[in-house]
């Protein structure tokens, strides 16, 4: 339930206000050089603290607790954790009686009969994506020298990200955004025709990121308004290079060797300082409420590195389905 992958298997665990959060990666090849410093740059990109992100500042320092000896992976499951330290659970006392609309409070309460950890969103918190980024760093190492890059291209419906964030902060409300992710020249042949098509695998992981509400590959939704003659990407040489890329680098669920391109939609943060309405389950009536805890005004600002991790994990698993765990070593 908390594990993704057929061969490169990534399991996430922990809660926002529990002792620790982390990730276990089974199916990691042996002999991969790995030290805690390798995670630094990607974890820093996920971290909060910049304008428009939550003021909750965690150290986020990774501890490798299994699967690595003398700086190299051993072939046993790799587990990496970080301890939670910066919690303030007091502001979450009310969410069981008055679930935040748009958040997971209501569904978690019903599904887990009131036993789930609701503090800071518990296991539904964006904080759990820390482990996804860690697994992404390992996947990127396996895929090296493949280059994966993602950027925020729109926030609050505007391409002027800074102004959109400023306006959101001024209004006390939250905004969404769009992230574009590109993988430069992946090998031809990653993906299986049906259930493990490259689109299915990438989408599965991308939709596991809390607050993601949509994805499109290549020309995506705009394809619906195009003619076949416009949409088809002419093949220009023996490598399969195309002169346009409406397919986003995937045909028949399999990477075609051209740039893999997708965009994802991130909703506005459900926790906002604006007064909203929800149902009070104790009084059995609708009530007004305001979120007082710390939250990201624009989650999309923190998503690019998480999207990179998602696609890296998906492609690594597809590569290993093709070549096996030991077939991907250097």
Ligand X SMILES: Cc1cc2nc3c(=O)[nH]c(=O)nc-3n(C[C@H](O)[C@H](O)[C@H](O)COP(=O)(O)O)c2cc1C
Residue ranges in contact with ligand X by CB under 6 A: 54, 103-104, 121, 124-126, 129, 209-211, 267, 269-271, 295-296, 299, 302
Residue nearest to ligand X (CB): 126
Run of H or E including 264: strand 260-266
**Pairing label, strands 276-280, 285-289:** antiparallel
- Minimum Å gap between C-beta 91 and ligand X is 12
- Minimum Å gap between C-beta 135 and ligand X is 15
Torsion of CA 118, 42, 209, 116, to 10 degrees: -20
Q: How far apart are the first and last CA of the chain?
A: 31
Q: What is the DSSP string of 221-242?
A: GGGGGS-HHHHS--B-STT--B
The smaller minimum CB distance to ligand X, of residues 25 and 307, is found at 307
Distance CA 264, CA 262 (A): 7
- Minimum Å gap between C-beta 175 and ligand X is 12
The smaller minimum CB distance to ligand X, of residues 99 and 253, is found at 99
- Minimum Å gap between C-beta 101 and ligand X is 10
How many CA atoms, within 13 angstroms, populate the side-chain half-sphere of residue 243? 6
- Minimum Å gap between C-beta 207 and ligand X is 8
216 CA to centre of own chain: 15
Run of H or E including 115: none
Q: Which residue spans within 135-174 are E strands per DSSP?
A: 147-155
- Minimum Å gap between C-beta 171 and ligand X is 16
- Minimum Å gap between C-beta 139 and ligand X is 18
The smaller minimum CB distance to ligand X, of residues 21 and 320, is found at 21
Q: How far is CA 175 from CA 127, 167, 306, in A?
A: 19, 10, 18
The smaller minimum CB distance to ligand X, of residues 118 and 295, is found at 295
How many other C-beta atoms can be found within 10 angstroms of the C-beta atom of residue 116? 19
The smaller minimum CB distance to ligand X, of residues 124 and 196, is found at 124
The smaller minimum CB distance to ligand X, of residues 102 and 240, is found at 102
Q: Collapse the DSSP code of 195 into the 3-class scheme (helix H, G, I; strand E, B; otherwise coil) and give the result.
A: coil
299 CA to centre of own chain: 11
Eight-state DSSP code of residue 220: G
The smaller minimum CB distance to ligand X, of residues 84 and 269, is found at 269
């Amino acid at each position: 339930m908390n594990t993704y992958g057929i061969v490169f298997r990534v399991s996430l665990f922990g809660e926002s206000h529990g002792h620790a959060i982390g990730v276990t990666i089974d199916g990691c090849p042996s002999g991969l050089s790995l030290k805690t410093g390798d995670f630094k740059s990607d974890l820093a990109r996920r971290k909060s603290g910049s304008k428009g992100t939550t003021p909750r500042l965690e150290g986020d320092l990774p501890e490798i607790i299994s699967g690595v000896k003398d700086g190299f992976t051993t072939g046993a499951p790799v587990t990496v954790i970080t301890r939670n330290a910066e919690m303030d659970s007091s502001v979450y006392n009310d969410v069981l009686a008055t679930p935040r609309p748009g958040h997971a409070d209501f569904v978690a309460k019903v599904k887990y009969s009131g036993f789930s950890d609701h503090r800071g969103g518990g296991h539904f918190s964006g904080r759990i994506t820390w482990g996804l980024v860690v697994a992404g760093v390992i996947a990127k190492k396996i895929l090296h020298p493949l280059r994966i890059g993602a950027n925020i291209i729109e926030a609050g419906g505007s391409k002027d990200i800074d102004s959109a964030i400023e306006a959101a902060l001024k209004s006390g409300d939250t905004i969404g955004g769009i992230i574009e992710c590109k993988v430069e020249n992946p090998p031809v042949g990653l993906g299986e025709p049906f259930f493990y098509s490259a689109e299915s695998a990438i989408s599965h992981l991308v939709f596991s990121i809390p607050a993601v509400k949509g994805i499109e590959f290549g020309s995506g939704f705009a394809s619906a308004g195009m003619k076949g003659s416009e949409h088809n990407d002419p093949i220009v040489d023996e490598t399969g290079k195309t002169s346009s890329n409406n397919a986003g680098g995937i045909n028949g669920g399999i990477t075609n060797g051209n740039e893999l391109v997708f965009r994802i939609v991130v909703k506005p943060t459900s926790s906002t300082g604006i007064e909203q309405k929800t149902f009070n389950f104790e009084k059995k009536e609708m009530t007004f409420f305001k979120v007082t805890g710390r939250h990201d005004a624009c989650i999309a600002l923190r998503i690019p590195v998480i999207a990179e991790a998602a696609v890296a994990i998906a492609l690594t698993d597809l590569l290993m389905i093709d070549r096996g765990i030991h077939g991907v070593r250097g």
